[in-house]
Amino acid sequence: MPSKSVLETKQAIVAQLKDKVANSVSGVVVDYKGITAEADTKLRKELREAGVEYTVVKNTLLKRAIEGTEIEGMSEVLEGTTALAVSHEDQIAPARILNKFAKDSDGKFVIKSGYMDGKVMSPAEIAAIADLPSKEGLVQMLLSVLVSGPRGLAIALSEVAKAQETA
């Protein structure tokens, strides 16, 4: 039986993890075993710049933190070395950065699972989401499509008017 202070410390960590997960828009759980300290430092810097929190976690504590939540299904992959990356703003950032890193790591860095909007995602789903542009990129694409229609119509009408003037 752990001492009272150890138990209180673990309960505080579980509460922090629960809060971190509850207040995030997405997260990815990875197995980081086998990566170098240099690669880990580079990864952490990239995640930090994107506003993603990256933390090495104990499986039992993360299991307790997600117990009774919509993402409790992630518990089945919580084995071995585990790190959690969460984002509070950009839903795609953790998936995009970690998926790219996993591809470049020759199998040493593996995506276990993830979640977005309360739904547990498989590594394949995370890889698919990682290939999407950011929210700003999607908005720009949508605006480009919306603007191109009226612009094309205006150009066509202008050409018709010019053709009628010369005829």
Percent of the chain with pLDDT over 90: 56
Token pair listed for 142: 């949508």
**What is the residue whose two structure tokens read 């993402």?**
71
Order of all β-strands in the sheet with 119-121:
52-57, 82-87, 26-31, 110-116, 119-121
The Cα–Cα gap between 142 and 147 comes to 9
Judged against a pLDDT cut of 90, whether residue 157 lies above it is answered with: no
Question: What pTM value is reported for the model?
Answer: 0.76
* Cβ–Cβ < 8 Å for 109, 35: yes
The Cα–Cα gap between 137 and 74 comes to 29
Neighbours of 97 (CB within 10 A): 22
pLDDT at 167: 63
More confident residue, 34 or 161: 34
Token pair listed for 68: 């009774």
Token pair listed for 37: 């300290």
> For 32-106, where are the E strands, in sequence order?
52-57, 82-87
Stretch 114-131: mean pLDDT: 92
pLDDT at 1: 62
